[in-house]
């Protein structure tokens, strides 16, 4: 990708719009208050730094961009880009600082701050806004959605489960790859989900975790049926199809998931799993995970747990909730959103069942049903350095929408009363600035591992 073309059209004329005495522009990224969640889990910048900012601008890039942008009807700053190649070898003269990835902070806290390091490139920090903001808002939003679902599930498990240490990481499974717009989106969102969970079917997510965050294996899955592999046997051989799953993939300690609603879920559970194949399920020494995949998500999976309990039996844990025979569990992967997860868990526990009996698979609700406004992400300029060496605070404060007011002056983030708070950098004093340099003039300064990020997000650092 030609980084000169990784921007918005109007950015090409901005080099001539700043005051002539400008030597540097500082800008920052935040999730503005008023979005879906009060806190944001910051994640994903490192992928952008490694994949895109490491690419040096070449003369061929300049020629390509010059032809395209000029034909597009806009001025092209050829002198500026040629100076970048001759003076900096094609590396972008930028300094970027950010909070440590995995930080969970209140909305309104600066996450990233950028400025140019060469006074001739004052126009560059905001030129890359399009690419930089996109690199932050999407994975951070997915990571935040997944993080909040973890809170919902944790609360239910704390209430109804004796020991959920090994259960929690696999309660939300990523089914979103096919609903993403591209392989890259699936990778970005897939690894963002893996900050809080370890269950995924999005292979690109574990690839990205390995490539960008030094995690050899970030997530896990199990053999599972889809409708094509079940309906290929025909309705009259449905029991054979299910039996084949147990024989092929069942075994000591193993799990196998079987979608069971191809024709009639209730009949499949009561007659096939409950009668024809009951002994095979009980004797395989592993766990059958029944997957309902249609109907009201607030009703059908709970009915499935009820039916399996009546057939295979259950125990009652120390907290007074019923736990299915270890041979069977349920996963709900249709119509799953953070809201429906809470409804299902509340209703399940209302019927006396522990939350550990069910897992969830989320697809579009995790990777696709988000946008920049979900958490009100924005990147805004906050300071200007003049040629005399003086920093001046700049900001916007629209009277027609006070919620879009931006922060003035270069920012720092400090701990105050136990919470991260934004303060002007000039007022930092002796306090520790949580914003850390992560990139400067083509060099990566921080290289977080997924293991470190997970610890930080879980509040264990």
In this prediction, residues 199-211 reach a mean pLDDT of 98
- pLDDT tens-digit profile of 220-237? 999 999 999 999 999 999
- pLDDT tens-digit profile of 76-104? 999 999 999 999 999 999 999 999 999 99
In this prediction, residues 429-443 reach a mean pLDDT of 97
In this prediction, residues 328-350 reach a mean pLDDT of 97
- pLDDT tens-digit profile of 154-188? 999 999 999 999 999 999 999 999 999 999 999 99
pLDDT band at 1 (very low <50, low <70, confident <90, very high): confident
Q: What pLDDT score does 413 carry?
A: 98
In this prediction, residues 353-377 reach a mean pLDDT of 97
pLDDT above 70 covers a percentage of the chain that reads 100
In angstroms, the Cα distances linking 49 to 10, 46, 91, 259 are 24, 5, 12, 41
Indicate whether 206 pLDDT > 90: yes
Cα 286 from Cα 407, distance rounded (Å):
56
What does the angle CA 245 – CA 247 – CA 252 come to, to the nearest 5 degrees? Answer: 105
Q: What pLDDT score does 354 carry?
A: 98
pTM recorded for the entire structure? 0.97
Who contacts 385 (Cβ-Cβ below 8 Å, separation ≥6)? Answer: 22, 23, 24, 25, 26, 115, 119, 122, 391, 392
Identify the residue with better confidence: 251 or 101: 101
Q: What pLDDT score does 251 carry?
A: 87
In this prediction, residues 4-31 reach a mean pLDDT of 98
* Mean pLDDT of all residues belonging to the chain: 97
Indicate whether 461 pLDDT > 80: no
pLDDT band at 460 (very low <50, low <70, confident <90, very high): confident
Q: What pLDDT score does 171 carry?
A: 98
**What are residue 279's DSSP bridge partners?**
none
- pLDDT tens-digit profile of 270-288? 999 999 999 999 999 999 9
In this prediction, residues 325-353 reach a mean pLDDT of 97
Indicate whether 60 pLDDT > 90: yes
Indicate whether 386 pLDDT > 80: yes
């Amino acid at each position: 990708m030609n980084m000169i073309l990784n921007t918005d059209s109007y950015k090409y004329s901005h080099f001539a719009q700043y005051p002539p005495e400008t030597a540097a522009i500082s800008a920052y990224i935040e999730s503005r208050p008023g979005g879906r969640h009060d806190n944001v889990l910051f994640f994903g910048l490192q992928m952008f730094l490694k994949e895109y900012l490491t690419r040096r601008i070449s003369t061929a890039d300049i020629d390509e961009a010059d032809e395209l942008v000029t034909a597009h009807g806009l001025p092209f700053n050829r002198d500026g880009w040629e100076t970048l190649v001759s003076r900096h070898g094609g590396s972008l003269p930028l300094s970027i600082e950010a909070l440590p990835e995995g930080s969970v902070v209140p909305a309104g806290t600066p996450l990233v701050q950028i400025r140019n390091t060469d006074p001739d490139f004052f126009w560059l920090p905001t030129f890359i806004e399009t690419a930089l903001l996109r690199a932050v808002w999407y994975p951070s939003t997915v990571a935040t959605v997944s993080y909040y679902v973890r809170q919902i599930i944790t609360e239910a498990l704390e209430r109804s489960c004796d020991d959920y240490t090994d259960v929690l990481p696999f309660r939300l499974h990523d089914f979103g790859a096919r609903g993403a717009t591209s392989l890259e989106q699936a990778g970005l969102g897939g690894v963002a989900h893996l900050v809080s969970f370890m269950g995924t079917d999005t292979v690109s997510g574990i690839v990205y975790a390995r490539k960008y965050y030094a995690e050899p294996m970030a997530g896990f899955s199990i053999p599972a049926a889809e409708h094509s592999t079940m309906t290929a046997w025909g309705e009259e051989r449905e029991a054979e199809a299910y039996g084949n799953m147990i024989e092929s993939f069942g075994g000591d300690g193993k799990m196998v998931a079987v979608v069971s609603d191809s024709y009639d879920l209730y009949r499949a559970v009561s007659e096939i799993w409950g009668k024809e194949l009951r002994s095979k399920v009980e004797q395989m020494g592993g766990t059958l995970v029944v997957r309902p995949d249609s109907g009201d998500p607030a009703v059908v999976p709970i009915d499935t747990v009820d039916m399996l309990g009546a057939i295979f039996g259950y125990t009652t844990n120390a907290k007074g909730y019923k736990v299915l025979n270890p041979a069977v569990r349920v996963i709900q992967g249709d119509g799953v959103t953070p809201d429906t997860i809470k409804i299902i868990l509340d209703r399940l526990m209302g019927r006396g069942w522990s939350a550990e009996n069910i897992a969830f698979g989320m697809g579009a609700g995790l990777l696709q049903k988000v946008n920049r406004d979900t958490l009100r992400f924005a990147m805004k300029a906050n300071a200007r350095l003049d040629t005399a060496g003086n920093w001046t605070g700049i900001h916007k404060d629209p009277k027609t929408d006070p919620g879009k007011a931006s922060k003035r002056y270069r920012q720092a983030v400090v701990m105050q009363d136990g919470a991260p708070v934004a303060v002007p950098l000039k007022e930092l004093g002796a306090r520790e600035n949580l914003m850390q340099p992560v990139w400067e003039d083509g060099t990566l300064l921080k290289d977080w591992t997924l293991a470190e990020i997970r610890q930080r997000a879980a509040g264990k650092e």
